[in-house]
Amino acid sequence: MTLLGDMEPAEAESVYFNEYSAPKALPKHEALARAFIDLHVEDNRRVVLVTSGGTTVPLETQTVRFIDNFSAGTRGATSAEYFLQQGYAVIFLHRQYSLLPYSRHYSHSTNCFLDFMDEAPPTADAANPDHGSIVVRSEYQDEMRDVLRKYRYAKQNNRLLLLPFTTVAEYMFELRAMAKLMRPLGSNALFYLAAAVSDFFIPRSRMAEHKIQSQEIPAHLQGDTVDDSEEIYTGENEIQPPKNQKKLVVNLDPVPKFLHRLVDGWAPDGSMVVSFKLETDPSLLVYKARTALQRYSHHLVIGNLLSTRKWEVVFITPDAPHERWIRVPKARRSKSISGVEDQVGLAEIQKGGSAQKPTSQ
């Protein structure tokens, strides 16, 4: 059987998208995105699609278990704030419950949101003597006011559209749909692909329907997907642990790389595409980022290492200087008051704008 990864991109697209049904939320997301894009086309505003957070790979159709990855969405949520600050409208395609622009300062921090609050001294309200208002604690006032103003501005001016996904298939459907909807934007469209997209998945045809069992099931309860031999099958080619061994062997296929299709087919002509490359081995990072840029012929690959990604990235571009490191100086790496680490500010990714000089460590 030919793997999707071995097919021509257009064929892989057709096979992949025929195998899965579109996510239930897609029509609603498309309607919201269409209205959002129309508004910004009318105002001749740049729109960036920021993808953020990790995708999941379900092990069962009725999913109890899934494979996930580390990404919390910090890069995507932080970058979205910078884009908004630069006047972009942002479609924030993110993993459900991952970090969001602005609320990220408080939502997943070491402090519970209640720790930011206090009761104001009781007022002289004779009817309600014990009921002072709830207020933000004085030490958080300045930062929270600043974040609140930016958040309100984005909301009131329709600059931020939040669209969630969970699985890798949902992500693919949403990405394709958003890219196509962004066509009227032409060169005002930017794709900033910071999501950590799964590299391996179980094709639907091989997925177990029900929860994979870790113990032997009595014969009279076994359904069609379970046989009586030494091994329990959860679907064609999907093998559960041999009986009496608590081992699960999962057979994954490579996820087709649709960046090619995004650049050559889905995205509007003249748009800019920025992808990210994550590695853990420093000796591979630049090589892998360069290879991605050559393979997909887009505009920029931003490389980062798992361990240093919060303060160091490398920009790999088709034109000189080809490789440029950007670092947050040590002194600026401290945590903000809410305990959330900031990330390398990628405000310089503006179409047509020149990037800042790297700051030395």
Q: Which residues contact ligand PAZ by CB under 6 A?
A: 71-75, 194, 196-197, 276-278, 304, 309
Contact 76, 59 (CB under 8 A): no
CB of 194 to ligand PAZ, least distance (A): 5
Element (DSSP H or E) covering residue 193: strand 189-193
Which of residues 178 and 196 has its CB atom nearest to ligand PAZ in the complex? 196
- 3 state SS of 292: helix
Which of residues 50 and 91 has its CB atom nearest to ligand PAZ in the complex? 50
CA distance 143 to 140: 6
Which of residues 143 and 341 has its CB atom nearest to ligand PAZ in the complex? 341
CA distance 220 to 218: 6
Residue type, 29: H
Which of residues 26 and 72 has its CB atom nearest to ligand PAZ in the complex? 72
Report the alpha-carbon angle 196-201-202, nearest 5: 160
CB of 123 to ligand PAZ, least distance (A): 43
Element (DSSP H or E) covering residue 273: strand 272-279
Quote the DSSP letter at residue 76: H
CB of 95 to ligand PAZ, least distance (A): 9
DSSP string, 45-61: --EEEEEESB-BEESBS
CB of 165 to ligand PAZ, least distance (A): 14
Which of residues 240 and 304 has its CB atom nearest to ligand PAZ in the complex? 304
Which of residues 40 and 298 has its CB atom nearest to ligand PAZ in the complex? 298
The length of the chain, given as a count of residues: 361
CB of 258 to ligand PAZ, least distance (A): 12
CB of 310 to ligand PAZ, least distance (A): 7
